[in-house]
Chains A and B, each alone.
Chain A
Amino acid sequence: MTGERTLPAPAGTVEGGKPGARRGLGRLATIPPIWLVLAALLVVVVWRDPSFAEPASLLAFVKRSAPLLVLALGQLFVIVGGEFDLSVGALITACVVVAARLGDGDPGRTWWVVALLVVFGVLVGLTNGLVTTLLRVPSFITTLGSMLVLNGAVFLWTGGSVTGALADNLRVPGRSGITGLPVVGQLPYAVPIVVVVVACATLLLHHTRFGHQVLAVGGGVRAAMLSGVGVWRVRTATFVISGLSAVVAAILLAGFAGLSANAGAGYEFQAITTVVLAGAVLGGGRGGTVATVGGALTLQMLFTLLNLFGFAKPLRDSAEGLLLIAAGAYTAYRARRSS
């Protein structure tokens, strides 16, 4: 008997349980383990390639992680609210293809193309949300359906291939940066964008009434409903947030990776992986934005590491799968221990 028993944190609290005053080594245990994993990976990467520790390469690393990071933050809202969004990968592809077709490489059109994409993302999110909540279709099926519809509709419209081109100024946010700075040299635009998105997401999920309602709905629909939360409104809003995050991710990805017919392929599962790495529970009620940032950076760091060790790209997949299962097992273990 160690006498180290703390009361279990009330269900649905932010970031799981945070035992208040612990000192010394005990404090280490309160750090979400995702940061420890990230630190360990970083140490190995820097050991193999010391130039990685330079500010410029670290910023480039953040730039590479940016699309996944933004997308995962959107997915986080949906998962915390107790649903899934499998349509984001197809939505990213749709945004990139639509931007190329409508913009056709003309910088003058970029502003209204971006505005259109935002409206498009909101509409897709709204449809996902309303079909899930009002028509009561499980979100797995709803978003699988919109994934098929988006894939079908966009390529039906473009005749099966990608046409047009991405305007240069549309590609700026994901590709370029502010140059001529001291110390870092170039600051990619993606970095301030990520900072703003993370700040907004953190404020929204952890410091507003709406965020608490999302956590409450995910923690228990009936309890939330009986406490006066408009469950369907909250859940629909989470899908809209996810749709918007996919639009931002698409713009970053368009700049970073360019035009491709499978720009967003597989991103839906990577986003879910990231959120699970961050300790969120599928089924809702648990999850934090800062940990999600850690999850996205960890996944990207793992890819960097496997690249450094010269592993082929397919094996990165296998490592991602193992990490996903390990994270799921750890989350389940922690949930068992704390209950």
Chain B
Amino acid sequence: MRALPTPAVLTRILRPDRPEGSSLPIWLTFAAVFAVAWLVVGLAGGSFVTLANLQNIAQRSVALGLVTVGQTMAVLAGSLDLSVAYVVSVAAMVASVTMAGDPGRIPLGVGAVLAAGALVGLVNGLVITWLRVNAFIATLGVAIILRGGLNATFDNFAGAVPDQFQVLGYDVLAGIPVSLFLLGGVVAGAWYLMHRTRFGYHVYAVGGDAEAARLSGVRPHRVLLAVHVLSGLCAATSGLFLASRLGAGAPWVGPDGGYDLESIAAVVLGGTALAGGKGRLLGPLAAVAILAVVDSVFNFFQADPFLRTLVRGVVIVGAVALYSYRSERDPHPGERAFRLAGPRSGSRDVPRSGSGDVPRSESPDAHGERG
């Protein structure tokens, strides 16, 4: 006799529209964007699908992709992390100063970087859970503190990473950049953690409703601490990659890359609700890949970097507007009931869909106020 699939698996087969959404539409969008890019560059007489260009796109995605993995976990738990850009810088500096060009110190450098990232994440998490500071304010505060510390200590490139470490940033293994293996490993680990372990379900539970999760026996504070440590670790890994790419750390690598706001934009583009609890881990990565493809097209045409900024802003807002339009057409059952009961059903003044009245990450009592 064949074993029957467990109910959870059965549900997944029968109902592909999981409550937390699916990353498939975003990957389809990626495919469409990729095809259009191929066509446009091809018509202009270039060749888009060359090994070099694909490798270039992949390299571009790595730094933002690593940060985005951590940011996605934080946002899924109903929090957010504005400190990632400066964690990237701190990590790059720690890596290059600790290694100081000595191949024997690579393990030490990597260890120090991961410890620094975890420490910043821990501080973020503690400020949010112990002091009950709103995540936006807490991580913004930590970001400003790190910025001050960085700029007071360094004003230019410092230290150096050994040549052996630059393998991570430049080498290609079987046609695939080494850094892509790093991103792949981190993504695989995070995907397993989010979608196949108890911890992952707890993250969704806390992001969906911290108080309900607490009453069901989940400890929201621990989950929030953990996601912030993970987010710090991911940002630190991104800093390692950038240090390896640049050969030395510079205090401006993080903020200049705009990793804080761009990673949040990628998370939202990837179908993750800013309020938490809804979205898949792979969605934001598809968004990062889309942004990298668009960048590469702009590069091909040598477009003005300011035009690129402008287009990026329009794309981000437009895509999110499209999402909310779609979820508007198919609101949650609860919300539909509310609207029917409301005195002005169908009027313009319905509350914003999806996230309830206030984005959860912004409300002061989201993180288990009485926990």
Query: Which residues of A approach B to under 8 Å, CB–CB?
Result: 82, 84, 86, 131, 133-138, 140-142, 144-149, 151-153, 155-156, 160, 220-222, 225-226, 229-232, 269, 272-273, 276, 281-284, 312-322, 324-325, 327-329, 331-333, 335-336
Specify which chain B residues have a CB less than 8 angstroms from the CB of A283 in the assembled complex: 134, 358-359, 362-364
- Cβ–Cβ contact B357 & A221, under 8 A: yes
- B141 contacts A by Cβ under 8 Å: yes
Specify which chain A residues have a CB less than 8 angstroms from the CB of B342 in the assembled complex.
225-226
User: Quick one: which of B153-196 are within 8 Å of A by CB?
Assistant: none
Chain B residues engaging chain A, CB cutoff 8 angstroms: 127, 131-134, 136-138, 140-152, 261, 264-265, 268, 274, 304, 306-314, 316-317, 320-321, 324-325, 328, 338, 342-344, 348-355, 357-359, 362-365, 369
Q: How far is the CA of A52 from the CA of B317 in the complex (A)?
A: 47
Given contacts A314-B149, A319-B148, contact A145 B316 (CB under 8 A): yes
Q: Assess whether A320 is in contact with B144, with CB atoms less than 8 Å apart.
A: yes
| B141 and A137 within 8 A (CB) | no
Whether the Cβ atoms of A325 and B133 lie closer than 8 Å is yes
Contact B140 A318 (CB under 8 A): no
Distance (Å) between the CB of A303 and the closest chain B CB? Answer: 12
List of B residues within 8 angstroms of A220 by Cβ: 357
Q: Which of A140, A156, A331 contacts B359 (CB 8 A)?
A: A140
User: Which residue on A lies nearest to B149, using beta carbons?
Assistant: A318
Is B358 within 8 A of A221, CB to CB? yes
Q: Is the CB of B357 within 8 A of A82?
A: yes
**16 A–B contact pairs at CB < 8 A?**
A141-B265, A141-B274, A152-B306, A221-B351, A225-B351, A283-B134, A320-B148, A321-B143, A321-B145, A321-B148, A325-B131, A325-B138, A329-B131, A329-B133, A332-B133, A336-B132
CA distance A136 to B335 in the complex (A): 15
Shortest Cβ-Cβ A-B pairs, 5 listed: A152-B310, A148-B313, A318-B148, A317-B148, A321-B144
Q: Are A136 and B324 in contact (CB under 8 A)?
A: yes
CA distance A155 to B305 in the complex (A): 9
**Within 8 Å CB of B138, what residues of A?**
325, 328
On whether the beta carbons of A153 and B310 are closer than 8 Å, the reply is yes
Check if B358 sits within 8 Å of A82, measured CB to CB: yes
Contacting pair A282 B145 (CB below 8 A): no
How many Å lie between the Cα of A269 and that of B134 in the bound state? 15
Distance (whole angstroms) from the CB of A141 to the closest CB of chain B: 5
Q: Which residues of chain B come closer than 8 Å to A221, judged between CB atoms? A: 351-352, 357-358
Please give the distance in Å from B364's CB to the nearest CB on chain A: 5
B148 and A136 contacting across the interface, CB-CB below 8 Å: no
| Bound Cα distance A126, B274 (Å) | 23
Verify B313–A147 contact, CB threshold 8 A. Answer: yes
CB distance from A164 to the nearest CB of B (A): 17
- Residues of A near B317 (CB, < 8 A) are 131, 137, 141-142, 145-146
**Given A283-B362, A329-B127, A332-B133, A140:B274 Cβ within 8 A:** yes
For B369, list chain A residues within 8 Å (CB): 336
A319 to B147, CA, bound (A): 11
Considering residues A145, A155, A226, which has the most beta carbons from chain B within 10 angstroms of its beta carbon?
Answer: A145
A335–B365 contact, CB under 8 A?
yes
Asked if B268 and A312 make an inter-chain contact with CB atoms under 8 angstroms apart, the answer reads no
> How far is the CB of A82 from the nearest CB of chain B, in Å?
6
Max chain A C-beta neighbours (<10 A), residue from B320, B324, B354? B320
